[in-house]
Amino acid sequence: MSLLKDKVVLVSGGTQGVGAAIALAAGREGAAVAVTGRRPEPGEALVATLKTAGTEAMYVRTDVADVAEAQSSVAAVIKAYGRVDCLVNSAGLTSRGSLLDTSPELFDQHMAINVRAPFFLMQSAVADMLTRRAAGTIVNIISISEHCGQSYLAAYVTAKAGLAGLTRNAANAHRFDRIRINGLNIGWTSTEGEDVTQRRFHGAGDDWREQAAKTLPMGRLGDVDEIAEFVVFLLSDRSGVVTGSVIDWDQNVIGALD
């Protein structure tokens, strides 16, 4: 397979969960892959896995909440590979907080990671594409919760809804530059991070996935590999001229009432 043959793909937050699955899928499709994250251990382990599979890969230690670090991660990839063809913004914060109990500090954390970081990562990547007068693609991992979400996700929803708007705005601004920008509103997905979240905030036990599956139409949570394949499709020329789309990737239908 070669959907991303000879492309350079940067995956923000690509060291675990959805981001790691996207990095692996991009590598299988022929891309050189750069991943960022705060913790070197999983980042370096993932790069080792990619290289073992024959993928050219690098890890850039990055805290995307720091704008300078986020921008420097793009610069590091350009220095190593000469360009960034594709960007995936998958880094995210899901800590809980309602309208009444969210502190200014928690609100600012959500804005910094879930919307400000993608903004400035896109700014840096698009600037590189424009300098080279080259086409490019970007996919933002958003959330089905951006439509409304649970009451305990007030700050998260605010930031993700902002990212959805940013996705459309940037796509419109750069459509004539042949830079396609799309977003994916993913639903409830089984990841390492979700396991931590369920245990920390909801007192979940070891069988939480099985219990959750019983409540879902398809009888299971979303799978990171399925999401990754869809993201690779959006990054590739196979998705044609599609831009400015924020796609609901979920098993529940928004607006439906039983």
Q: How far is CA 213 from CA 17, 190, 196, in A?
A: 19, 10, 17
CB atoms within 10 A of CB 258: 2
Q: Residue 100 — φ and ψ, nearest 5°?
A: -85, -25
Q: Which of 59, 81, 152, 156 is catalytic?
A: 156
| Amino acid of residue 1 | M
Cβ(152)–Cβ(98) below 8 Å: yes
User: What does the alpha-carbon distance between residue 55 and residue 201 come to, in Å, rounded to a whole number?
Assistant: 37
CA separation for the pair 132, 51 (Å, rounded): 28
Sheet with 8-12: strands ordered across? 57-61, 32-37, 8-12, 86-89, 136-141, 179-186, 246-249
Please give the structure tokens belonging to residue 160. Answer: 């993700």
Q: Is 152 a catalytic residue?
A: no
Which active-site residues does the annotation give? 156
